[in-house]
Chains A and B, each alone.
Chain A
Amino acid sequence: MARQQLVSRQYMKRSRAGEVWHRLKKNKGAMIGLAIIVMLALVAIFADLLVDYEKDVIGMTLKDRLQHPSKAHIMGTDDLGRDIFARLLYGSRFSLSVGVVAVAIAVVAGVILGAFAGYYSGGIVEDIIMRFTDIFAAVPNMLMAIVIVSALGANTMNLMISVGVTSIPQFVRTTRAAVLTVTGQEYIESARAIGESETKIIFKHILPNCLSPIIVRVTLRVSSAIISASSLSFLGLGVPAPNPEWGSMLSTGRAYLRGYSYMTLFPGLAIMLTVLAFNMVGDGLRDALDPKLKK
């Protein structure tokens, strides 16, 4: 109690978001991760300025095939003579957009369902939502994603949908748990006592108080969505052929793994780096949003 007051006095001048940012800044890992993410995002947005899609990304020059890294091609070239570095840069578009859009789908659906399940806990609404969530979660994620993509057809949009849908159960559960604790708080009862309607109570009073665990879950989930998307592309169920999705680059590289490993090494590193960055930011955010967890 006393400590809480001390802390609040110390941060008197800062808003809540400012406080979180202040704590996040102290976390080196999270800042490195954030820097990587910002860089990746910039690369993805300005990929067209950095490389020429027609010439560098999908244009074949067979005489240059399977070259080792050199000045002209710093990461070498692939089996069709395309510059791996250029393809990686351009590929960040697919990986990041699939990760972000898939998680966005999952967040919207999962948070709304979870909020209702948590608010109407003990009733039939909760039973229906949670049992369906359980059924969804019982099917292995990859299997489910494969089924959805093969049913809808392999393209980028369907890849996003399938990865998004498989992430929904996690968000339902996270949100429900957070809503359950917040619903029991006295300020929610006060909100009822001033005549606030139920939907407004859920979306205006409860959900903003549940943001911390959801934000953390989002950053961590983006990284696994990128992995799922890459895995699906690796299996040939993702972004269609000439496009340089990192997973599908890995997949084509597999045939040359023994003699020419650069084709798998660099896309693999790119995936790893991105996932690591999101995970570090996620961990950092979790600490920053919940000061009680620290030390």
Chain B
Amino acid sequence: MENDRILLEVSNLTVNYELEDETVEAVRDVSFYIEKGKTLGLVGETGAGKTTTALSILNLIPDPPGVIRSGKITLGGESILDKTKKEMTRIRGKEVSMIFQDPMTSLNPVFTVGDQIAEALMIHEGLDKSAAFRKAQEMLEIVGIPGERAHEYPHQFSGGMKQRVVIAIALACNPQLLIADEPTTALDVTIQAQVLDLMKELKKRYGMAMLLITHDLGIIAETCDYVAVMYAGQIIERGTLEEIFNTARHPYTEGLFNSLPNIADRKERLKPIPGLMPDPTKLPKGCAFAPRCPYASPSCIEEMPEDIHFGGSHFCRCSAYKDPKFHIEREDINE
């Protein structure tokens, strides 16, 4: 892996939300990288720290109470966290764009959609108002909305179209990296498919890299090159799409796959992972998943597990693999 292929590198990132009487450890020692033009999927359940990780890439953690305690984020070789406020505003929207979860609320109700797309162009490309608006109309056409609708307000669009507008805003300045935070969660399934296809197509067209945050493994399977699984603020497993989907190693990843409905046997019951995520203000000393893990040994609760590498980019953070004979029992893999 040559170094200049890497666009974004996050290493040992730790983010806390420090409140008066307690500290939420939202992101704990997270490291990952994204190569140019590739898509990394970040999966995990609600509260696993996915969004916090994404926001720290833009240095947009709400502060207070959010604090980046340690870690390094480099984008194209430059350290993000050392940038001044002003330099940061030049990166946001230009180098890195972000799509938020709910298109219903991520457009400003008092401006026309054309103005909102033009805004980014005026900030970063130095276009004047009319040129920016014309470009905005082109962007709308690209995402499949007639250009004349640029004069309309967000409330005149449906949910799927709003998300297209949001995508148009994010892509207006050709960013190198697009962060999509659950871009399709608020949409229904048919619209989801359309929006995902659109994003895939645009990604290919502009050759940008993408960090896709979701809790939907189906979306991951369709769009990602790499997958990172987050649990309680840590990346507990990472690998290529094939590695994760075919040879998942971490018991939590296994649990995620087992809790998907089985299409071949519709009468079969779902097998959810027992228990709940630990309280992020009182994380256990050892492996955060240990209390729910069917393979846990007493030492799991005491000791923080280390990353165990399986060759290539695949690693998993689970102490059980210290025993070379250990393997999880995933049922449907070899059938």
Task: State the A residues within 8 Å of B (CB).
Answer: 4-5, 8, 12, 15-16, 122-123, 185-187, 189-198, 205, 208-209
Chain B residues lying within 8 Å of A122, measured Cβ to Cβ, are 64
Cross-chain contact A195 with B108 (CB below 8 angstroms) = no
Task: State the B residues within 8 Å of A (CB).
Answer: 58, 60, 64, 85, 88-94, 97-98, 100-102, 105-111, 119-120, 123-124, 153, 155-156, 158, 166, 169-170
Max chain B Cβ within 10 angstroms of own Cβ: one of A16, A187, A194: A194
User: Could you pull out 12 A-B pairs where Cβ atoms are within 8 angstroms?
Assistant: A186-B102, A186-B105, A186-B106, A190-B107, A190-B169, A192-B60, A193-B100, A194-B92, A194-B169, A195-B92, A196-B119, A208-B110
Of A5, A186, A187, A195, the contact of B93 (CB 8 Å cutoff): A195
Chain B residue with Cβ nearest A211: B110
Cross-chain contact A196 with B89 (CB below 8 angstroms) = yes
Cross-chain contact B153 with A12 (CB below 8 angstroms) = no
A-B contact count (CB 8 A): 73
Cross-chain contact B60 with A195 (CB below 8 angstroms) = no
Chain B residues lying within 8 Å of A8, measured Cβ to Cβ, are 155-156
Q: Closest Cβ of chain A: how far from B281's Cβ, in Å?
A: 19
Q: Closest Cβ of chain A: how far from B203's Cβ, in Å?
A: 18
Chain B residues lying within 8 Å of A192, measured Cβ to Cβ, are 58, 60, 92
* Cα of A93 to Cα of B312 in the assembled complex, Å: 82
* Cα of A26 to Cα of B251 in the assembled complex, Å: 64
Cross-chain contact B155 with A194 (CB below 8 angstroms) = no
Chain B residue with Cβ nearest A191: B108
- Given A16-B110, A195-B92, is A190 in contact with B100 using a C-beta cutoff of 8 Å? yes
Chain B residues lying within 8 Å of A185, measured Cβ to Cβ, are 105
Chain B residues lying within 8 Å of A186, measured Cβ to Cβ, are 100-102, 105-106
Q: Closest Cβ of chain A: how far from B116's Cβ, in Å?
A: 8
* Cα of A209 to Cα of B119 in the assembled complex, Å: 17
Chain B residue with Cβ nearest A13: B156
* Cα of A192 to Cα of B106 in the assembled complex, Å: 11
Q: Closest Cβ of chain B: how far from A132's Cβ, in Å?
A: 22
- Given A12-B156, A186-B101, is A196 in contact with B106 using a C-beta cutoff of 8 Å? no
Q: Closest Cβ of chain B: how far from A212's Cβ, in Å?
A: 10
Q: Closest Cβ of chain A: how far from B297's Cβ, in Å?
A: 43
Chain B residues lying within 8 Å of A198, measured Cβ to Cβ, are 85
* Cα of A4 to Cα of B153 in the assembled complex, Å: 14
Max chain A Cβ within 10 angstroms of own Cβ: one of B90, B100, B109, B110: B110
Q: Closest Cβ of chain B: how far from A205's Cβ, in Å?
A: 6
Chain B residues lying within 8 Å of A5, measured Cβ to Cβ, are 158
Chain B residues lying within 8 Å of A209, measured Cβ to Cβ, are 108-110
Cross-chain contact A195 with B166 (CB below 8 angstroms) = no
Chain B residue with Cβ nearest A209: B110
Q: Closest Cβ of chain B: how far from A104's Cβ, in Å?
A: 22
Cross-chain contact B106 with A189 (CB below 8 angstroms) = yes
Q: Closest Cβ of chain A: how far from B123's Cβ, in Å?
A: 5
Cross-chain contact A194 with B108 (CB below 8 angstroms) = no
Cross-chain contact B92 with A197 (CB below 8 angstroms) = no
Chain B residue with Cβ nearest A4: B155
Of A15, A193, A205, the contact of B58 (CB 8 Å cutoff): A193
Chain A residues lying within 8 Å of B153, measured Cβ to Cβ, are 15-16
Chain B residues lying within 8 Å of A195, measured Cβ to Cβ, are 88-94, 120, 123-124
7 nearest A-B residue pairs (beta carbon): A194-B93, A195-B92, A195-B93, A193-B98, A186-B105, A186-B106, A195-B89
Chain A residues lying within 8 Å of B91, measured Cβ to Cβ, are 195
* Cα of A185 to Cα of B108 in the assembled complex, Å: 9
- Given A193-B97, A195-B94, A195-B124, is A187 in contact with B106 using a C-beta cutoff of 8 Å? yes
Chain B residue with Cβ nearest A193: B98
Q: Closest Cβ of chain A: how far from B7's Cβ, in Å?
A: 18
Q: Closest Cβ of chain B: how far from A7's Cβ, in Å?
A: 9
Of B92, B101, B111, the contact of A193 (CB 8 Å cutoff): B92
* Cα of A205 to Cα of B120 in the assembled complex, Å: 13
Chain A residues lying within 8 Å of B106, measured Cβ to Cβ, are 186-187, 189-190
- Given A122-B64, A195-B89, A195-B90, is A187 in contact with B119 using a C-beta cutoff of 8 Å? no
Cross-chain contact A196 with B123 (CB below 8 angstroms) = yes
Of B97, B102, B111, the contact of A194 (CB 8 Å cutoff): B97
Cross-chain contact A194 with B105 (CB below 8 angstroms) = no
Cross-chain contact A194 with B123 (CB below 8 angstroms) = yes
Further 12 A-B residue pairs, CB within 8 A, beyond A190-B98, A195-B89, A208-B111: A122-B64, A185-B105, A187-B107, A189-B106, A190-B100, A190-B107, A193-B100, A194-B92, A194-B123, A195-B92, A197-B89, A209-B108
Q: Closest Cβ of chain A: how far from B260's Cβ, in Å?
A: 29
Q: Closest Cβ of chain A: how far from B129's Cβ, in Å?
A: 13
Q: Closest Cβ of chain A: how far from B166's Cβ, in Å?
A: 7
Q: Closest Cβ of chain A: how far from B30's Cβ, in Å?
A: 20
* Cα of A67 to Cα of B46 in the assembled complex, Å: 81
Chain A residues lying within 8 Å of B88, measured Cβ to Cβ, are 195
Q: Closest Cβ of chain A: how far from B95's Cβ, in Å?
A: 9
Chain A residues lying within 8 Å of B93, measured Cβ to Cβ, are 193-196
* Cα of A205 to Cα of B91 in the assembled complex, Å: 20
Chain B residues lying within 8 Å of A189, measured Cβ to Cβ, are 60, 100, 106
* Cα of A16 to Cα of B123 in the assembled complex, Å: 26
* Cα of A195 to Cα of B119 in the assembled complex, Å: 10
Cross-chain contact B109 with A194 (CB below 8 angstroms) = no
Max chain B Cβ within 10 angstroms of own Cβ: one of A5, A123, A191, A209: A191
* Cα of A16 to Cα of B106 in the assembled complex, Å: 18
Chain B residue with Cβ nearest A122: B64
Chain A residue with Cβ nearest B153: A16
Chain A residues lying within 8 Å of B109, measured Cβ to Cβ, are 187, 209
